[in-house]
């Protein structure tokens, strides 16, 4: 099943958020998202999404660095030459370009979608997915007070979410977690995500979280600090989950060999696409380490790729796969992603490709920059 990609189009949209999103540098009303449109020589089309943010505060990549990497180096590697297997795209990219994993993923994943479309099968089936439904967890940002957080946790529980994750930072941790713990009840797991806000010197402080029976503490230390994570894990009963640290299959192997984590968060858009994501999944499965799929404030297009990945067998923990309506006034796909009352999302296994239709008119309306990449 060889095919040739004829055209790569970059389309940046500004997608209005349902409610303003507070980040350290200010408040945003809309999310800048770089979309990628692939078209093959037979006129078949697949859309992809780059997960990079506006600023390099999660990873070094941004919307603008990804646009440059795709335009200057990656898209030219994708166009013209026959693609016999989507699994060969990553080696092709990696042979020529170091890093830039979010940019690579934005191109690699829709190649899988295109292959699935051509075979009239779902993306989930194409990549080896087994699940029909996936448990959904919610991620709650740092709130104004423990009381406000408790209200949000109770609402999430009532909505049916199967796991609640609370962002923490120095100065907004123990009291907030205590409030969340009191609000959540005993039926669903509670976890925390520090986004690398702590240092190993905080180990005694973090050990106080052990009394709350958390499912995990995500990324407590700097992404580069595998050895320090291993030391911290020895001092905590709460399992450490790594997110930002896991950039490649080799990195995942190192982290597990060192004992830096007992759980791994895999975001395909962060690690270079499905080839790397599946390899990390397999590394973890071999060692009995459970994985789950995190979110990057994706539109419904990026969500489709996450849902497909999360249908793989070792994604045994709830993923951050909130429905479209949580973030967006209106999504750019139809049907929008929804969550059932039991807190699950359905894997669209009976529809070819990504399983949702891109609302191209809406994408065009929201577009702030569009360019066709020259081969
Ligand atoms: Mg995280």
Structure confidence by residue, pLDDT tens digits, 155-193: 999 999 999 999 999 999 999 999 999 999 888 999 999
Q: In the chain, where does the domain assigned CATH 3.30.390.10 lie?
A: 5-121+356-372
Over residues 125-150, mean pLDDT: 96
Distance 320 CA to ligand 1 centre (A): 10
User: Helices 249-258 and 226-235: crossing angle, nearest 10°?
Assistant: 40
pLDDT, averaged across the chain? 96
Cβ burial of 6 (10 Å; 0-12, 13-18, 19+) is middle
The residue length of the chain stands at 375
pLDDT at 371 over 70: yes
Residue 103 CA, ligand 1 centroid: distance in Å: 19
Ligand 1 centroid–CA 219 distance in Å is 7
pLDDT at 375: 76
pLDDT score at 374: 79
Closest Cα partner for 303 from 354, 227, 243?
354
Question: 334 pairs with which residues across the strands?
Answer: 357
Q: Which CATH superfamily is domain 126-346 in?
A: Enolase-like C-terminal domain (3.20.20.120)
pLDDT at 24 (0 to 100): 52
Instruction: Name the residues annotated as catalytic.
Output: 167, 267
Q: Using pLDDT thresholds of 50, 70 and 90, give the confidence band for residue 244.
A: very high
Class of 5-121+356-372 in CATH:
alpha beta
Q: pTM for this structure?
A: 0.96
C-alpha dist (Å) from residue 213 to 131, 163, 198, 350: 28, 13, 20, 39
Predicted local confidence at residue 26, as pLDDT: 64
So what's the pLDDT on residue 20? 78
pLDDT, position 22 = 64
Instruction: Look at residue 340 and tell me whether its pLDDT is greater than 90.
Output: yes
Amino acid 170: pLDDT: 95
Cα–ligand 1 centroid distance for 44 (angstroms)? 35
What is the arithmetic mean of pLDDT over 328-350? 96
What backbone torsions phi and psi does residue 360 show, to the nearest 5 degrees?
-65, -35
Nearest to 369 by CA among 32, 143, 114, 31: 32
Whether residue 216 has pLDDT greater than 80? yes
Q: What pLDDT score was predicted for residue 185?
A: 87
pLDDT digits (tens, 9 = 90+) for 64-79: 999 999 999 999 999 9
Task: Please determine, for residue 135, whether its predicted confidence score (pLDDT) is greater than 70.
Answer: yes
Give percent of the chain with pLDDT exceeding 70.
98
Ligand 1 center from residue 193 Cα (angstroms): 6
Q: What is the number of other CB atoms lying within 10 angstroms of the CB of residue 162?
A: 21
Average pLDDT over residues 72-90: 96
User: What residue spans in the chain does CATH classification 3.20.20.120 cover?
Assistant: 126-346
DSSP code for 172: B
Q: Are 303 and 321 in contact (CB under 8 A)?
A: yes
302-334 pLDDT, tens digit each: 999 999 999 999 999 999 999 999 999 999 999
């Amino acid at each position: 099943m060889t095919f040739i990609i004829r055209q790569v189009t970059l389309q940046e949209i500004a997608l209005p958020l349902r409610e303003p999103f507070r980040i350290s540098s200010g408040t945003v009303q809309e999310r800048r998202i770089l979309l990628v449109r692939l078209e093959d020589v037979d006129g078949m089309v697949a859309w992809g999404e780059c997960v990079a943010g506006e600023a390099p505060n999660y990873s070094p990549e941004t919307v603008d660095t990804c646009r440059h990497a795709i335009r200057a180096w990656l898209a030219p590697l994708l166009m013209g030459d026959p693609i016999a297997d989507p699994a060969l795209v990553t080696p092709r990219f990696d042979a020529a370009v170091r890093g830039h994993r979010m940019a690579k993923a934005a191109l690699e994943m829709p190649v899988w979608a295109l292959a699935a479309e051509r075979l009239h099968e779902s993306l989930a089936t194409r990549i080896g997915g087994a699940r029909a439904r996936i448990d959904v967890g919610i991620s709650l940002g740092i709130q104004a007070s423990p009381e406000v957080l408790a209200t949000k946790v109770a609402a999430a529980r009532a909505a049916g979410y199967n796991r609640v994750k609370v962002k923490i930072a120095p100065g907004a941790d123990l009291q907030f977690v205590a409030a969340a713990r009191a609000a959540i009840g005993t039926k669903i797991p509670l976890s925390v995500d520090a986004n690398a806000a702590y240092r190993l010197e905080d180990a005694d402080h973090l050990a106080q979280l052990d009394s709350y029976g958390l499912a995990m503490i995500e990324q407590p230390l700097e992404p580069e600090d595998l050895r320090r994570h291993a030391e911290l894990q020895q001092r905590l009963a709460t399992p450490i989950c790594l997110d930002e640290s896991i950039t490649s299959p080799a990195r995942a192997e190192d982290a597990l060999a060192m004992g830096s984590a007992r759980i791994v968060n895999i975001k395909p858009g962060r690690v270079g696409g499905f080839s790397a994501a599946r390899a990390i999944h397999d590394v973890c499965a071999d060692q009995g380490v459970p994985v789950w799929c995190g979110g990057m404030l994706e539109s419904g297009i990026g969500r489709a790729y996450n849902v497909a990945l999360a249908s793989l067998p070792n994604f045994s923990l709830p993923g951050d796969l909130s429905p479209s309506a949580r973030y967006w006034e209106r999504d750019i796909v139809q049907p929008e992603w929804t969550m059932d009352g039991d807190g699950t999302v359905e894997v669209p296994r009976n529809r070819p490709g990504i399983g949702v239709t891109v609302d191209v008119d809406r994408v065009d309306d929201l577009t702030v920059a569009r360019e066709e990449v020259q081969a």
